[in-house]
Amino acid sequence: MKVLKVVGLLTLFFISVIFYCEWIIYYQAVLRCHWPKLKHAGDEATDGLRALILSDPHILGNSGHWMDRLRREWQMGRSFQTAVFLLEPEVVFILGDLLHHGYHDNQQQWQHDISRFHQIFRCPGNTELIVVPGNHDVGYYYQLTAEKLQRFQSVFNHSALISRRGVNFVLVTSMALDGDCSACSEQQANLNSISLLLNCSTQTRRRRSFCRHMTPVPPSAPIILQHFPLYRHSDSVCVGQNSSHHRHLVFRERYDTLSQDASQKLLWWFKPRLLLSGHTHRSCLVVHGNREGKGHPEVSVPSFNWRNRNDPSFLLAVFSSSLYQLSECFLPEESTVIWVYCSAALLAGIGTAAAYTTCMPTHTHTHTHTHTHRNDDAQCVN
């Protein structure tokens, strides 16, 4: 009977540990996160558009080891569903690299990987999902083709300019800004047209004659969403980043960041009040200057995949037509989960050894004591 009792207790203990590490720990992490508050600005309302922002999930699809795929997809799925359930964002932005090998998937592989993406990042009906392509989705500038862009846009059919509750968002295909392909030229021309439209929205009536044929948009400085960050030499210029051991890794233009020319072009076209990017898998806040001396803050969002970092995170943002506030929400660290499992295994081993020791017969020279311990041993076996 004692053996059965020990086995039952160990089984209950391991089920509790697994339930904590694979379910409860995500609720524990997300419950520590809160929507930031917009500061008062005159008579403007303090509530705004609530957005959850993440980047670089890198869904493996059919590549990689099946256990690695299963583990990472479970982690991302549980984290995302927990965050959406508890925080109830109005919109979710994903800043590229949805898939790990999307740029060279054939059509069948692409459909399978996209299906996995929608299963992991499914949203309720009152939450809008908006994504921008990354280099792992459509390729770098030298791999980008009209067919790859069309395949991506056929699934995520978003305009490059989106306005929600008076807030303008510009969705940029970063890889197209440094390429010379036909698809690249089309993307750049589209962004140029959007910049004219946004400029018209802020012009005075005396200067609006050439803007009358354009569809009006809210007169608000835009927020740029893209995969590649603007050019910076390294992360040494970042403020408040959480991966200091990569600070001095020198970036390559058009691979790690946009080129200097493309970066200046975006700033000149849109004069954004905020830029949000991914790609580096690390968080970073940097302020870009322009010729007028005004700053344009850019926030790089870390990877959402534990395969890329020990401590994934996402942003919670509240936007109004003139204000915004951001906060970073950290998910459970992989090392913490491993530590819990190892500690549980150690405790279970100690408990099993202790239980086994109590069931071992103690041999003595007296007939009476030997008979007594044989009865105890029989109870342990039964």
Other Cβ atoms closer than 10 A to 18: 13
The answer to whether position 352 is within a domain reads no
Cα–Cα distances in Å, from 364 out to 360, 368, 371, 372, 375?
Answer: 13, 9, 10, 10, 14
* Mean pLDDT over the full length of the chain: 87
The answer to whether position 378 is within a domain reads no
pLDDT tens track for 81-106: 999 999 999 999 999 999 999 999 99
- pTM exceeds 0.85, yes or no: yes
**What's the rounded Cα separation, in Å, for the pair 57 and 41?**
36
Question: What is residue 246's predicted lDDT score, i.e. its pLDDT?
Answer: 75
- In this structure, the strands spanning 313-319 and 49-54 are antiparallel
Contact present, 89 and 48 (Cβ < 8 Å): no
The answer to whether position 359 is within a domain reads no
The answer to whether position 381 is within a domain reads no
Q: What are phi and psi of 121, to 5 degrees?
A: -110, 40
Other Cβ atoms closer than 10 A to 17: 17
3-state secondary structure of 151: helix
* 327 pLDDT above the threshold of 90: yes
The answer to whether position 6 is within a domain reads no
* 364 pLDDT above the threshold of 70: no
| Residue with token string 């047209």 | 193
**What's the rounded Cα separation, in Å, for the pair 119 and 132?**
18
The answer to whether position 241 is within a domain reads yes
Question: What is residue 315's predicted lDDT score, i.e. its pLDDT?
Answer: 98
Question: What is residue 158's predicted lDDT score, i.e. its pLDDT?
Answer: 83
pLDDT band at residue 381 under the 50/70/90 scheme: very low
Q: How much is the CA Rg of the chain, to the nearest whole Å? A: 27
**What's the rounded Cα separation, in Å, for the pair 75 and 26?**
9
Q: Across residues 341-368, what is the average pLDDT?
A: 75
Nearest to 74 by CA among 342, 337, 283: 337
Q: CB neighbours of 109 closer than 8 A, spacing ≥ 6? A: 61, 62, 101
The answer to whether position 68 is within a domain reads yes
Find how far residue 97's CA is from the centre of its chain.
10
Q: Across residues 329-357, what is the average pLDDT?
A: 89
**From edge to edge, which strands make up the β-sheet containing 324-330?**
128-131, 91-94, 49-54, 313-319, 324-330
* 325 pLDDT above the threshold of 50: yes
| Complete DSSP assignment for 259-298 | -HHHHHHHHHHH--SEEEE-SSSS-EEEEEE-TT--EEEE
* 43 pLDDT above the threshold of 70: no
Q: Across residues 140-152, what is the average pLDDT?
A: 92
pLDDT tens track for 230-246: 999 999 888 865 555 67
Least confident of 41-50, 282-291, 295-304: 41-50
pLDDT band at residue 120 under the 50/70/90 scheme: very high
The encoded tokens of residue 35 equal: 């929507």
pLDDT band at residue 293 under the 50/70/90 scheme: low
Question: What is residue 378's predicted lDDT score, i.e. its pLDDT?
Answer: 45
The encoded tokens of residue 4 equal: 């059965």
The answer to whether position 382 is within a domain reads no
Structure-model confidence comparison of residues 248 and 300, the more confident one: 300
Q: Across residues 117-127, what is the average pLDDT?
A: 95
Q: Across residues 219-240, what is the average pLDDT?
A: 92
* 151 pLDDT above the threshold of 50: yes
Question: What is the tally of structural domains in the chain?
Answer: 1
pLDDT tens track for 162-215: 999 999 999 999 999 987 777 888 899 999 999 989 988 877 555 556 677 777
pLDDT tens track for 25-39: 999 999 999 999 997
Least confident of 4-13, 79-88, 116-125, 298-307: 4-13
Cα–Cα distances in Å, from 181 out to 138, 146, 177?
Answer: 13, 8, 10
Question: What is residue 299's predicted lDDT score, i.e. its pLDDT?
Answer: 96
* 150 pLDDT above the threshold of 70: yes
Domain of 166: which CATH number? 3.60.21.10
* 375 pLDDT above the threshold of 60: no
Least confident of 55-69, 73-87, 198-212: 198-212
The domain in which residue 208 lies consists of: 48-331
Other Cβ atoms closer than 10 A to 37: 12
Structure-model confidence comparison of residues 98 and 353, the more confident one: 98
User: Can you name the residues that pair with 277 across neighbouring β-strands?
Assistant: 300
pLDDT tens track for 5-26: 777 888 898 999 999 999 999 9
Q: Could you tell me what percent of the chain has a pLDDT over 70?
A: 87
Contact present, 233 and 284 (Cβ < 8 Å): no
Other Cβ atoms closer than 10 A to 59: 24
Nearest to 132 by CA among 188, 94, 186: 94
